[in-house]
């Protein structure tokens, strides 16, 4: 054993080295068993961590992977304008109703910046007087962009008027801010052209609900 003041006394003896090694092993074991974030509900799991408690983020956060949230966990109030709407209507009267389905009046709705989908709630109405010599039918439909929502029809006795409405509620996707959505009312007669008359009317009303 080196004596103080003699050459080699600055080096620890075997007993001291063993004690220090034993102390280091105990410290390593304690650190490995300790979980300093356990009080916050954070624990390790294979490939990541599990957080049981609540978190407060005071600065910006970036997620490079997907973020899976339970349904209803984020309210609309917490989002920046998640929904926008636009409404418009138009009409025409005193026109001749021929036998070709033709858009008589239309409106244009503009997609707001930052939105990519739209639910279009539209309704077309039509009135007409059968000026032909035989009973006929009045047809009416909504068109959204180039898509016809399907004709509905009603019977029109000779010399009498007829009226009906036709709804259409498509969902559009792949939109970009600044795009326009055209919604129109198309009408036609079944057998012969009906002469222009103040009672011949067609109208379209549309509301678009824009979603991100």
Structural domain contains residue 188: yes
Q: What is the mean pLDDT of the chain?
A: 87
Give per-residue pLDDT as tens, 48-68: 777 776 778 787 878 787 777
Structural domain contains residue 202: yes
Reduce the DSSP state of residue 26 to 3 states and report it. Answer: helix
Strand extents, DSSP E, 39-193: 42-45, 48-51, 83-97, 102-110, 117-129, 136-144, 147-148, 152-156, 161-168, 171-172, 180-189
Reduce the DSSP state of residue 172 to 3 states and report it. Answer: strand
What pLDDT does residue 103 have? Answer: 98
Q: What is the CATH number of the domain that holds 148?
A: 2.60.120
What pLDDT does residue 39 have? Answer: 63
Print the domain residue range for 206.
83-211
What pLDDT does residue 42 have? Answer: 72
pLDDT of 90 higher than 60: yes
pLDDT of 9 higher than 70: no
Number of domains in the chain: 1
Reduce the DSSP state of residue 19 to 3 states and report it. Answer: helix
Whats the size of the chain, residue-wise?
212
Structural domain contains residue 156: yes
CA distances from 43 to 36, 37, 48, 49, 68 (A): 9, 7, 9, 6, 19
What gap in Å lies between CA 54 and CA 66, rounded to an integer?
20
Structural domain contains residue 155: yes
Structural domain contains residue 7: no
Give the residue-averaged pLDDT of 77-100.
90
Total-model pTM:
0.67
pLDDT of 72 higher than 80: no
Q: What is the DSSP letter of 40?
A: G
What gap in Å lies between CA 26 and CA 43, rounded to an integer?
22
Structural domain contains residue 10: no
pLDDT of 178 higher than 60: yes
What pLDDT does residue 36 have? Answer: 64
Structural domain contains residue 110: yes
Structural domain contains residue 134: yes
């Amino acid at each position: 054993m080196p004596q103080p003041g003699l050459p080699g006394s600055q080096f620890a003896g075997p007993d001291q080295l063993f004690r220090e090694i034993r102390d280091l092993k105990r410290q390593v074991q304690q650190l490995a068993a300790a979980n300093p974030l356990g009080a916050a509900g954070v624990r390790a799991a294979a490939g990541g961590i599990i957080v049981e408690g609540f978190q407060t983020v005071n600065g910006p956060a970036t997620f490079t992977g997907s973020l899976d949230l339970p349904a209803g966990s984020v309210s609309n109030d917490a989002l920046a304008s998640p929904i926008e709407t636009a409404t418009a209507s138009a009409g025409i009267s005193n026109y001749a109703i021929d036998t070709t389905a033709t858009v008589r009046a239309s409106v244009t709705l503009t997609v707001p910046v930052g939105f990519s989908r739209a639910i279009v709630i539209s309704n077309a109405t039509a009135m007409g007087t059968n000026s032909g010599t035989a009973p006929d039918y009045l047809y009416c439909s909504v068109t959204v962009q180039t898509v016809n929502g399907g004709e509905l029809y009603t019977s029109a006795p000779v010399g009498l008027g007829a009226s009906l409405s036709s709804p259409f509620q498509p969902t559009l996707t792949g939109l970009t801010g600044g795009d326009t959505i055209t919604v129109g009312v198309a009408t036609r007669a079944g057998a012969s052209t009906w002469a222009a008359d103040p009672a011949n009317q067609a109208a379209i009303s549309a509301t678009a609900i824009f979603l991100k």
